């Protein structure tokens, strides 16, 4: 990992035991951490526009995975806000000071697209921006369902905030389609006139942030608030929509980066705990890692982390490639997001259980990570809805995503097999892909089929990157577990053979567990208290303590005595 990451990890902001802080103090800390990350990485507008390696380095920084509130702030700041603005800089030099302020974290940027009553149906948003005779605009929320939802628009934490607000451009009563408008939201103390920010409740268990709903009451904006120089109604509304929201698919891919790092944390924490936690089943103390069930949870997480990290790094340059088409970028973003997050969820669930009671505490990361994953899976597009759309386009042959040859691996054979099955469904059902039969037979398979494509691509990328074969074998076993019947029916791999394959992979990988954990390269960023005796004792020292000193007892019960006084 880069020296920048280690520099950030050493900062006092990341030494704070957040479990002891009230939620608002945790949120305030997330904003301070976000400013620290922005200042340390010191991205340029060109870094963001062209998505240079430095841009992706932030998303894979292990320290970012510790605080998804921090990541949410950063993602909105650099990818959506600066990313959208950066394309206009050549002709809008007046935006340079704003972009520089955003890159330094002096101003926080938000992207207000989704509305409470529309969700993913962003083509039908209802917020309006009416052009006035002097060229200015009146931004308005016509009714409650058009309230913008989620981005943190309130002024509670002392931040100047601006937003790119997606609204319908209305000129002389005619709807000219959706456009982005630059809207100042608040200074460090209060919202600007006409803006109402409603703070949403906390999300259960997840890293806290001041998520909000935002309404506009006839807010007057200058002519320069509009991004873009066309006032005409787009000939192709959907194409114009995608062009305006071109950073959204990048965001769908980008949100997976901290999930990969979080998976590394999960594997490292669970692995270290499993090596130091001792039991004595036969009067001889042994680490719980000795048991194959524990080995599976740890090594499954390690293998998944290494493979998915290699794949993420392999795919990232595609988003910087001007020759790569939008459908390809969108397809890869969906495939990576679905595969990474579902795999991370599975590993986090397994590993939290295998850490027992310790796996449920916020200080030990994994339980909070699980809750964060529940939130990330619907961020930048709900995974199921994205997979349904992608799978439909792939089986219809509207475009193709490069996947490995079926001869390359069992997982590639599985991916091609599911694609063939999906196409066969369309050929045999009357009415095509919009028929009721197709919906019942095709749609339920969409997500798991897209993930199967992801497994094949991830395995191939990791193999090219030199991930050890023992970890590739474990990753393959885990993918087979996801669809064991297919492998039994189509490649003759019986249940007994599948279990034997897992046993062979575990026996090969387990002896080198210490090396596998260190190769994750996240130890310097881990803050969990169960990875070592020293970390645990330090945590105990910080815990609230209540020493017995009561003189009166419960009725009918005689209180005990302090043995030290005997």
30-39, 224-233, 333-342, 498-507, range with the lowest pLDDT: 224-233
Q: Give the strand pairing for 286-287 and 278-279.
A: antiparallel
> Is residue 404's pLDDT more than 90?
yes
Task: Return the biggest CA–CA distance within the chain.
Answer: 91
pLDDT of residue 563: 62
Per-residue pLDDT, 136: 97
Contact 115, 123 (CB under 8 A): no
pLDDT number for residue 326? 85
Coil/strand/helix, residue 96: helix
pLDDT value at residue 241: 79
CB-neighbour burial class of residue 253 (10 A; exposed 0-12, middle 13-18, buried 19+) = buried
Question: pLDDT band at residue 156, thresholds of 50, 70 and 90?
Answer: very high
What's the pLDDT band for 559 if we cut at 50, 70, 90?
Answer: confident
Calpha distance 386→10 (Å, rounded):
38
pLDDT tens-digit map of 320-374: 898 998 889 999 999 999 999 999 999 999 999 999 999 999 999 999 999 999 9
Quick check: 565 pLDDT over 50?
no
With beta carbons less than 8 A apart as the criterion, state whether 158 and 104 touch: no
Exposed/middle/buried for residue 541 (C-beta within 10 Å: 0-12, 13-18, 19+): exposed
74 pLDDT band, cuts 50/70/90, is very high
More reliable by pLDDT, 217 or 119: 217
Give the N- to C-terminal CA distance of the chain in Å, as an integer.
56
Taking CA atoms, 336 is separated from 1, 116, 202, 331, 339, in Å, by 22, 27, 28, 9, 5
Distance between CA atoms of 243 and 88, rounded to whole angstroms?
Answer: 13
What is the per-residue pLDDT for 441?
A: 84
Q: Alpha-carbon distance 350 to 344, whole Å?
A: 10
**Tell me, what DSSP letter sits at residue 422?**
H
Residue 225 has pLDDT above 50, yes or no: yes
| Residue 561: per-residue pLDDT | 75
Length of the chain: 566
Q: Are 252 and 380 in contact (CB under 8 A)?
A: yes
- Phi/psi-derived region of residue 412, left when phi > 0, alpha when psi is between -120 and 50, beta in every other case: alpha
- Enter the pTM of the model: 0.93
Q: What is the pLDDT of residues 481-503, one digit of tens each?
A: 999 999 999 999 999 999 999 99
- The C-alpha angle 219, 225, 230, rounded to 5 degrees, equals 120
pLDDT at 1 over 60: no
Angle CA(262)–CA(266)–CA(272) in degrees, nearest 5? Answer: 140
CA-CA distance, 210 to 150, in Å (whole number)? 9
Secondary structure letter of residue 502 according to DSSP: H
Q: Among 38-42, 117-121, 225-229, which stretch is predicted with the lowest mean pLDDT? A: 117-121
The distance from CA 142 to its chain's CA centroid, rounded to whole angstroms, is 32
Mean pLDDT of 29-38: 97
Question: Which of 173-177, 433-437, 515-519 shows the lowest mean pLDDT across its residues?
Answer: 433-437
Measured CA to CA, the distance from residue 207 to residue 311 in angstroms comes to: 26
- Whether 157 and 31 have beta carbons less than 8 Å apart is answered as yes
pLDDT, tens digit (0-9, with 9 covering 90-100), for 460-483? 999 999 999 999 999 999 999 999
Selection from 358, 371, 344, 372 nearest residue 270 by Cα: 358
Give residue 39's pLDDT band: very low, low, confident or very high (50, 70, 90): very high
- Can you tell me the mean pLDDT for 105-129? 90
Confidence label for 229 from pLDDT (cuts 50, 70 and 90): confident
Indicate if the pLDDT at residue 432 is higher than 80. Answer: no
Average predicted confidence (pLDDT) for the chain = 93
Pairing of β 107-112 and β 160-171: parallel
Task: Check pLDDT > 50 for residue 267.
Answer: yes
* Residue 433 clears pLDDT 80, i.e. is over it: no
Report which of residues 441 and 176 the model is more confident about. Answer: 176
Does residue 209 surpass a pLDDT of 80?
Answer: yes
Predicted local confidence at residue 566, as pLDDT: 38
Higher pLDDT, 447 or 563: 447
Q: What is the mean pLDDT of residues 544-558?
A: 81
Find the mean pLDDT for residues 120-138: 91
Per-residue pLDDT reduced to its tens digit, 306-325: 999 999 999 999 998 989 98
Name which of 62-76, 182-196, 444-458, 540-554 the model is least confident about. Answer: 540-554
- Candidate from 140-149, 228-237, 294-303, 396-405 with smallest mean pLDDT: 228-237
H/E element holding 376? helix 366-376
pLDDT-above-70 percentage for the chain? 99
Q: How far is CA 122 from CA 126, 165, 204, in A?
A: 9, 12, 26
Q: Is the dihedral of CA 144, 148, 152, 157 positive or negative?
A: negative
Q: What is the DSSP string of 126-166?
A: --EEEEPTTS-EEEE--SGGG-EEES----TTS-EEEEEEE
Average pLDDT of the residues in 86-106: 96
Measured in degrees and rounded to the nearest 5, phi and psi for residue 259 equal: -70, -35
R_g over Cα of the chain: 26
């Amino acid at each position: 990992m880069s020296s920048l990451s280690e520099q950030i990890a050493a900062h006092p902001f990341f030494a704070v035991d957040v479990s002891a802080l009230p939620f608002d103090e945790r949120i305030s800390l997330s904003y301070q951490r976000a400013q620290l990350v922005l200042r340390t990485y010191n991205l340029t507008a060109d870094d963001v526009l062209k998505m240079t390696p430095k841009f992706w380095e932030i998303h894979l920084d292990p320290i970012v995975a510790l605080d998804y509130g921090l990541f949410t702030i950063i993602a909105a700041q650099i990818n959506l806000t600066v990313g959208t603005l950066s394309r206009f800089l050549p002709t809008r030099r007046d935006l340079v000071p704003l972009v520089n302020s955003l890159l330094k974290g002096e101003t926080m940027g938000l992207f207000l697209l989704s509305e409470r009553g529309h969700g993913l149906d962003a083509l039908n948003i209802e917020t309006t921006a009416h052009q006035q005779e002097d060229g200015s605009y009146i931004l308005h929320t016509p009714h409650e369902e058009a309230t913008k939802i989620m981005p943190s628009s309130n002024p509670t934490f002392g931040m100047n905030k601006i937003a790119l607000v997606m609204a319908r451009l209305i000129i002389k009563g005619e709807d000219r389609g959706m456009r982005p408008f630059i809207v100042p939201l608040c200074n460090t103390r209060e919202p600007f006139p006409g803006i109402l920010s409603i703070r949403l409740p906390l999300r259960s268990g997840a890293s806290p942030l001041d998520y909000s709903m935002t309404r506009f009451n006839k807010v007057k904006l200058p002519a320069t608030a509009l991004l873009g120089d066309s006032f005409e109604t787009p000939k192709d509304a959907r194409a114009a929509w995608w062009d305006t929201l071109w950073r959204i698919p990048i965001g769908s891919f980008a949100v997976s980066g901290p999930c990969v790092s979080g998976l590394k944390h999960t594997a490292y924490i669970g692995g270290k705990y499993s090596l130091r936690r001792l039991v004595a089943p036969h009067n001889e103390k042994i680490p719980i890692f000795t048991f194959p069930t524990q080995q599976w949870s740890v090594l499954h997480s390690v293998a998944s982390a290494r493979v998915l990290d290699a794949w993420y790094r392999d795919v990232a340059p595609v988003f910087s490639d001007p020759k790569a088409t939008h459908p390809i970028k969108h397809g890869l973003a969906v495939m990576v997001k679905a595969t990474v997050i579902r795999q991370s969820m599975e590993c986090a669930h397994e590993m939290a259980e295998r850490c027992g009671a310790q796996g449920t505490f916020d200080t030990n990361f994994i339980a909070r990570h699980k809750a964060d994953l529940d939130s990330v899976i619907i961020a930048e597009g709900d995974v199921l809805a994205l997979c349904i759309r992608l799978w439909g386009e792939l089986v219809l042959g509207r475009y193709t995503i490069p996947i490995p040859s079926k001869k390359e691996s069992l997982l590639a054979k599985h991916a091609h097999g599911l694609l063939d099955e999906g196409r066969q469904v369309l050929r045999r059902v009357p009415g095509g892909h919009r028929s009721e039969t197709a919906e019942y037979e095709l749609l339920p398979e969409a997500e798991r089929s897209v993930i199967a494509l992801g497994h094949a691509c991830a395995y191939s990328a990791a193999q090219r990157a030199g991930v050890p074969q023992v970890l590739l074998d474990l990753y393959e076993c885990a993918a087979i577990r996801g669809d064991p019947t297919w492998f039994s029916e189509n490649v003759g791999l019986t249940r007994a053979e599948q279990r034997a394959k897992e046993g062979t992979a575990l026996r090969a990988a387990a002896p080198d567990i210490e090396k596998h954990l260190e190769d994750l390269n996240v130890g310097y960023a881990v803050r969990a208290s169960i990875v070592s005796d020293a970390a645990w004792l330090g945590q105990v020292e910080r815990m609230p303590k209540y020493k017995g000193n009561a003189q009166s007892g419960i009725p009918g019960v005689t209180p005990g005595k302090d043995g030290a006084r005997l």
